[in-house]
């Protein structure tokens, strides 16, 4: 914090992650589901960047999305922003991420109407990191291979190869560039340094071929939603990937690229590790998961029921029981072999760092 600019949201994440499930957060009394004995658990910080928190909320979201899966094939569409725009994510993340999310979702809807003459729907999820925690901004979209006709009376299916990826690529480029130009005129990028000229940057990117990927997901729609849910309330890296922390160096497992299956070891200085981690802490108020088209939040339930009727699935899938977390005391947890590391009280708790909030500097400087 003495050598890098850290925003209030990032400082809050540092403090809460350091204190998560320790005595600093307090404890609560819980009843074991097996032996019905009472025991104490450390409270969690519930920060959406914490790798330990909100697994129950994530499971509830996944269960709700499973109920909405249509009996049709699905497509995984990935929109990747050019790396030249990463500077906007460092200085103006809120405005830039909003523009990218809207451009990706609107591209799917526009191409469905203009080329396939149907109303498509999609769930989109924003990712900003690679396996090495560097900046790689892309949006994953789960798109059913079909949509409601323009008159609303038929369900029109299409093969995955029939989705015009080249048109998607051009539409995403056009929408994002237009949105960034409008945001620049409204003053959303006034905090950029003088060396970064947004209009010149966009002019150099308008003639390039942007990356858009569209293929059926491995394992079907449910596996793909499980992958998206894995990063619903956490960022960049999980605890189980970290191998060691010695001599102020962090060693963790990673893949050299998304296409490689074997893992390698990456070692970073502690400050560089923290810098990369904080680079992906989302700004306050940013919604990283959004829905568009007939899967939009406003009329999603009615549209899904209508789509099932048009497809021919007259019976709605039986609703599963509401997700209920399993509460086990230390003894029952050991018998089942489950890993739970936040039982309380725990002796010899090391004192946590007291990361005080301070106002940001007048001149914004990227981390």
Mean pLDDT of 91-117: 93
How many domains does the structure of the chain reveal? 3
Alpha carbon distance 352, 21 (integer Å)? 11
Higher pLDDT, 296 or 39: 296
- On whether both 248 and 303 belong to a single domain, the answer is no
Task: Check whether residue 252 and residue 295 sit in a common domain.
Answer: no
- Please indicate, yes or no, whether residues 174 and 116 belong to a single structural domain of this protein: yes
Residues 149 and 108 in one domain: yes
Same domain, 114 and 204: yes
222 and 83 in a common domain: yes
Residue 118 lies in a domain: yes
Give the residue from 356, 342, 242, 314 showing the smallest Cα distance to 40.
342
Q: In this structure, is residue 56 part of a structural domain?
A: no
Give the range of the structural domain holding residue 11, as residue numbers without chain letter: 1-50+320-361
The pLDDT of residue 344 is: 52
Q: What is the pLDDT of residue 349?
A: 44
- Specify if 57 maps to a domain: no
Q: Are residues 118 and 12 in the same domain?
A: no
Indicate whether 58 belongs to any domain: no
Q: What are phi and psi of 156, to 5 degrees?
A: -110, 115
Q: Do the domain assignments include residue 62?
A: no
Domain contains 63: no
- Range in 34-38, 126-130, 197-201 the model is least confident about: 34-38
Question: Is 134 found in the same domain as 78?
Answer: yes
Residues 230 and 245 in one domain: no
Helix (H) or strand (E) holding 249: strand 249-254
Helix (H, G, I), strand (E, B) or coil at 200: helix
Task: Please state which of the ranges 23-27, 80-84, 249-253, 292-296 shows the lowest mean pLDDT.
Answer: 23-27
Whole-prediction pTM: 0.83
* Structural domain contains residue 184: yes
The set of long-range contacts for 108-114, using a CB threshold of 8 Å and a minimum separation of 24, is 108/77, 108/141, 108/143, 108/168, 108/292, 108/293, 109/292, 109/293, 110/171, 110/175, 111/163, 111/164, 111/167, 111/168, 111/171, 112/147, 112/293, 113/150, 114/167
What residues does 93 pair with on adjacent strands? none
- Nearest alpha carbon to residue 318 among 137, 116, 66: 66
Q: What percent of the chain has pLDDT over 70?
A: 86
Question: Is residue 27 included in any domain, yes or no?
Answer: yes
| Higher-pLDDT residue of 8, 344 | 8
């Amino acid at each position: 914090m003495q050598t890098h600019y850290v925003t209030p949201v990032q400082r809050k994440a540092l403090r809460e992650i350091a204190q998560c499930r320790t005595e600093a957060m307090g404890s609560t009394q819980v009843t074991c589901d097996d032996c019905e004995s009472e025991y104490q658990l450390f409270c969690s910080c519930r920060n959406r960047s914490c790798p330990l928190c909100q697994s129950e909320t994530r499971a509830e979201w996944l269960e709700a999305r499973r109920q909405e899966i249509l009996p049709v094939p699905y497509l995984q569409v990935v929109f990747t922003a050019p790396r030249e725009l990463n500077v906007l994510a460092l200085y103006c993340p809120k405005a830039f991420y909003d523009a990218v999310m809207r451009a990706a979702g609107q591209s799917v809807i526009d191409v469905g109407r203009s080329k396939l003459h149907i109303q498509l729907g999609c769930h989109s999820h924003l990712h900003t990191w690679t396996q090495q925690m560097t900046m790689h901004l892309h949006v994953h979209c789960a798109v059913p291979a079909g949509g409601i006709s323009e008159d609303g009376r038929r369900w029109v299916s299409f093969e995955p190869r029939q989705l015009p990826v080249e048109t998607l690529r051009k539409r995403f480029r056009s929408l994002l560039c237009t949105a960034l130009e409008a945001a620049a005129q409204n003053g959303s990028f006034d905090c950029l340094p003088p060396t970064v000229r947004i209009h010149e940057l966009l002019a150099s990117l308008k003639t390039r071929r942007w990356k858009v990927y569209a293929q059926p997901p491995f394992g079907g729609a449910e596996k793909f939603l499980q992958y998206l849910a894995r990063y619903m309330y956490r960022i960049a890296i999980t605890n189980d990937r970290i191998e060691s922390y010695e001599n102020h160096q962090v060693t963790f497992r990673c893949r050299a690229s998304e296409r490689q299956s074997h893992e390698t070891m990456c070692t970073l200085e502690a400050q560089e590790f923290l810098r990369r981690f904080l680079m992906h802490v989302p700004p306050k108020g940013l919604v990283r998961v959004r829905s568009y088209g007939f899967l939009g939040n406003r009329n999603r339930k009615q549209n899904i029921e209508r789509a099932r009727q048009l497809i021919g699935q007259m019976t709605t899938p039986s609703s599963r029981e509401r997700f209920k977390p399993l509460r086990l005391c230390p003894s029952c947890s050991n018998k089942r072999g489950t890993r739970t590391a936040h039982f309380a009280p725990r002796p010899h708790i090391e004192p946590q760092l007291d990361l005080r909030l301070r106002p940001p500097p007048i001149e914004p400087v990227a981390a």
